[in-house]
Every structure is written in C-alpha cells, then in structure tokens.
Amino acid sequence: MSVNLQGLKDNARKTAITELQACMADGTSLSLALKQAHWNVKGPNFIAVHELLDEVKDRLDPQIDNMAERIQQLDGVAVGTVEEVARATRLKPYPTDLTSVADHLREITDRFRSYGERVRAAIDTTDDAGDASTADVLTEASRQADKDLWFLQSHLD
Ligand SMILES: [Fe+2]
C-alpha cells in the first residue's frame, strides 16, 4: 500500500530514496565492521574499547532503521540484505586480519569519516531536491556519527 505523501515533488521523493538507500548501505557496512572489531580487538584498554565499539553500534543501528523507515514512507523499498549491502556500500572492505586496539580504531575511525562525509553530502542533496524531512533524518545520523567519531578518535590520540 502506498503512503503517497502530499506536497512532496516526485523528484524530491526519488532523490531521497536513492540517497537514503546509499547511506543505509554504508551505515550497515560500518555497523558490521564495528562488530568485527568488537569481537577481534585485543590489547591495552581492551574492555573499554570492546564495550565502546558495541555502544557505538547500538547508536548507529537506530539511525539506519530511521533511514529504512523513511524510504518506506516515500513508497520505496528499503534494501538491507547482506548481499545487496556488499554490492552497494561505498566503504572500503573491512580487514579480517587485525587484532590490535590501535589498528582496529584506525580502520574504524577511517570508515566513520567516510560515512560522515557521505551522509553530509546526502543532507545537501536531499535538501536541495526539496525533502527537508529526509535531510533531517540524515542530519540526526550525521550528528550522531560525528559524536561517535570523537569518542573513538579520543582513544587514539
Ligand atoms: Fe559482544
């Protein structure tokens, strides 16, 4: 059944679905990378970093959920299967041979920066296309990503 929001131009709707879908794929890829790091990290500050990685994932996942649900409100189809995410993500593949705290934090913060950059770009694109509500969903995701990048980065400096 179509939601068919009134007053939202077709171009705004289509642009928003495309941008949300791309950010969703990047976010899901980042979420899985956080779990990979959570499971495999070893070294100084183990428990702090191990727990932080899970906390960051727990704050990232609801943002991905908001993006997927916004796609549904726009009469799109949210695609979040691992096969499609692997095809669509713009993040670099996460290495599976890392163990040290420093290596994991470097790789994770690197991907958080890429994710943040792409979400920020999507905020502008969807706002310019005329969907302020999608830009707002993405703005919330961006604000959370910036904060968690700060938490993660602070363990490296
Ligand atoms: Fe765990």
pLDDT of 29 strictly over 80:
yes
92 C-alpha to center of ligand 1: Å? 23
Report the pLDDT value the prediction gives residue 156, as an integer from 0 to 100. 85
- The reply to whether 140 falls in a domain is yes
Mean pLDDT of 82-103: 97
- pLDDT at position 98: 96
Cα 57 to ligand 1 centre (Å):
11
Distance 38 CA to ligand 1 centre (A): 7
Q: How far apart are the CA of 40 and the centre of ligand 1, in A?
A: 10
Domain-located, residue 146 = yes
CA distance 4 to 88: 26
- Report if residue 71 sits inside a domain: yes
Whether residue 103 is predicted with pLDDT greater than 90 in this model: the reply is yes
What is the CA(150)–ligand 1 centre distance, in A? 22
Q: How far apart are CA 10 and CA 139, in angstroms?
A: 22
Residue 51 pLDDT more than 80?
A: yes
Residue 5 inside a domain? The answer is: no
Predicted pLDDT at 157: 73
Q: Name the nearest CA neighbour of 115 among 21, 18, 23, 32.
A: 23
Structural domain contains residue 4: no
Which tens digits make up the pLDDT trace of 113-155?
Answer: 999 999 999 999 999 999 999 999 999 999 999 999 999 999 8
**Which amino acid type is present at position 8?**
L
Band (85; pLDDT cuts 50, 70, 90): very high
Provide the number of structural domains found in the chain: 1
Q: CB count, 10 Å around CB of 67?
A: 28
Residue 4's pLDDT is 85
Q: What is the mean pLDDT of the chain?
A: 96
Residue 130: which CATH number? 1.20.1260.10
* Whether the predicted pLDDT of 1 surpasses 70: no
**What pLDDT is attached to residue 21?**
98
**39 in a structural domain:** yes
Q: What is the DSSP letter of 42?
A: B
- Dist. CA 52–CA 148, nearest whole Å: 9
Tell me the residue range of the domain where 64 lies: 10-154
How far is ligand 1, taken at its centre, from the CA of residue 27, in Å? 19
Residue 82 lies in a domain: yes
The 8-class DSSP code of residue 7 comes to: T
CA of 136 to the centre of ligand 1 (A): 31
* 2 inside domain: no
Q: How far is the CA of 39 from the centre of ligand 1 (A)?
A: 7
